A and B are shown apart, each in its own frame.
Chain A
Amino acid sequence: MSATVVLVPILISAWPTLAASVVSVAASAGFTVVLDKNVARKSRRTVEIDMENMEAVGEALSHDDKIVVERAGARVTFSRDARGRFRTCVDGELDEDELRKIGEDLAGRVIQQYLYRRLTQELSDSGFVTLEEDKAADETIRLHVRRHQD
């Protein structure tokens, strides 16, 4: 081994790319996409999840810049604000800690999925071949790639 690094993600992505990761991860976690995104709901708590270093870029805001998914009393809204920041809000009748846990878990998985796609694509473009990949019990994705150098 010649170096070990720990990296924290800085994601600057087109909204459609992030949206694809959101839909994919939400479906695999048992959430369904809410089609009528603007229906207000009464008597519900709302928690905003801190999403540092994430920006969703695009030419202009549109009605599609929001995805709402729902599971067992918790509704998670992924959106980008006017400044392009990627936002995650959770609302529901559960207590605040439970809502935060649901939101952080789902947002983390979205980032994980996004990074997996990006790493495999970019490393492949840089000449790496995937030797092995798996998912550990704690849901960490492990990826082993190799490239030959003359």
Chain B
Amino acid sequence: MESHDLEIEITKDGKVRAKVVGAKGKGCLDYVKLLEQIVGKVQAQELTSEYYEPDSRVQIDTAVRGKQQQ
């Protein structure tokens, strides 16, 4: 079983910086998409060596945006 971590910083002016750790390959982009749905738009993105390794299997319920107005 793999562990996938998110290390998130929310600055006091409301910007968000996040690191996805442990999700290999394109699987990490599913987490980026999840964060985008929760927070807003991606301003900058940097992919690291793990991104180029074989994909992790990631399953996320991404029906977040619809819940935003609650």
Binding site for B on A (CB under 8 A): 1-14, 17, 53, 57, 104-105, 108-109, 111-112, 115-116, 118-119, 122-123, 125-128, 131, 138-150
- Of residues 27 through 65 on chain B, the ones whose CB sits less than 8 Å from some CB of chain A are 27-29, 31-32, 34-36, 38-51, 56-61, 64
Chain B interface secondary structure, helix, strand, loop or mixed? mixed
Min distance, Cβ A149 to any Cβ of chain B, angstroms: 5
Across the A-B interface, give the 8 residue pairs with the lowest CB-CB distance, nearest first: A111-B14, A10-B40, A2-B50, A2-B28, A108-B13, A139-B12, A9-B40, A6-B44
Binding site for A on B (CB under 8 A): 1-25, 27-29, 31-32, 34-36, 38-51, 56-61, 64, 67-70
Q: Is the CB of A148 within 8 A of B20?
A: no
Min distance, Cβ A134 to any Cβ of chain B, angstroms: 11
Min distance, Cβ A4 to any Cβ of chain B, angstroms: 5
CA distance A141 to B61 in the complex (A): 25
Say whether, besides A2-B48, A12-B68, A148-B3, A140 and B42 are in contact (CB < 8 Å): no
Chain A residue nearest in CB terms to B59: A149
Min distance, Cβ B4 to any Cβ of chain A, angstroms: 6
